Amino acid sequence: MEIGGKSVMITGGCGGIGLEMGRLFAEAGKDVVLVDANIEPGAALARDNKRIKCVRCDLSSASDIEQTLGGHAADILINNVGISPKFDADGNRIRTWTMTIDQWNTVMATNVTSFFLCTKVCLPRMMDRKFGRIVNIASYAARIGGYQAAVHYTTSKAAVLGFTKSLAREMAPYGILVNAINPGRIETPMTRDVPKELSEALIPQIPAGRLGVPKDIANVALFLCSDLADYMTGTAVEVNGGLYVGP
C-alpha cells in the first residue's frame, strides 16, 4: 500500500480518532499537522515524533481558520473535527424545542463550515499538483437519525455526506478524491459525555460484539488515502461493526 503526497492536515487532530490517524500517517512517512482548539492531548505525540506538529485553531471560527491555517495547506486533508453537545448549561438534555440558534450555529460552524473552509485552504495546492485526498468524518447518526446525539449533530453529519458527494464530482478531474467515513459508536472522549452503561447497552446490537476504537477509523482513513482506493470517490464507508448495514 502506497500513499501519495508529502503532507497531511487533520482537523480535530488532538482528539481520540485524530491522534490515532496522526500516528499512522506519520508512521507512513508523512508530515502531519494536527489542528485543534486544545492541542495539549497531542503534545506528547508531537514530542515523540518530529513529523507531527500541533497547531492551535478555533475550528468554529471562519476568521481563525483563514488566519491560522493558510500556511498549512496539505496534500491530504482529513476533516475530522466534530462536537456533539447533548446537555445545556443546567444539565438538561438539549431537545429540538429547547435548542437555541446559538447552539445550532456552533455545531454547524464546527461540524460543517470548517470542512468547507479547510478544504478551501488545501484545494489550490492539490489542484496545482493534480493530486489530493480528502476524507470527511461523518457519522452513522446521519444514517439512523442518531443514538444519543441531538438534532443539530445528526443534521450536520448528513450535510457532510452531501458535501462529500458534490465535492467528489467537482474535484475528480483534478486528481483529487473525496470520500467519507461513517463511524459507529467509537470509544473516544466525545462519546463519554453520557453514562458508560448507555454506550455498553448498544453492544448487543453490534454484530461484531464490541464498541469501535479510534484505530478502526484511522485504518480506513489510511486506506482511502492510498493507491488501493485510487478509483474510489464520493462514497461513504460504514465502519460500525455491523450496527448499520443499510444502503
Q: Could you state, in order of their start, the residue ranges of all structural domains in the chain? A: 7-237
Do 134 and 77 touch, CB atoms closer than 8 A? yes
Question: What is the DSSP secondary structure assignment for residue 174, as one 8-state letter?
Answer: G
> Residue 94: which region, alpha, beta or left (left: phi > 0; alpha: psi -120 to 50)?
beta
User: pTM value?
Assistant: 0.95
Distance, in Å, from the CA atom of 134 to the CA atom of 122, rounded to the nearest integer, reads 9
Distance, in Å, from the CA atom of 86 to the CA atom of 47, rounded to the nearest integer, reads 34
- HSE (side-chain half, CA atoms, 13 Å) at 138: 31
Cite the active site residues.
153
pLDDT, one tens digit per residue, over 199-244 is: 788 899 999 999 999 999 999 999 999 999 999 999 999 999 999 9
pLDDT, one tens digit per residue, over 13-28 is: 999 999 999 999 999 9
In angstroms, the Cα distances linking 60 to 7, 11, 66, 94, 98 are 23, 11, 11, 20, 22
Distance, in Å, from the CA atom of 148 to the CA atom of 131, rounded to the nearest integer, reads 38
Max alpha carbon distance in the chain (Å)? 50
Per CATH, which fold does 7-237 belong to? Answer: Rossmann fold (3.40.50)
pLDDT: is 211 or 247 the higher one?
211
**Residue 95: what residue type?**
R
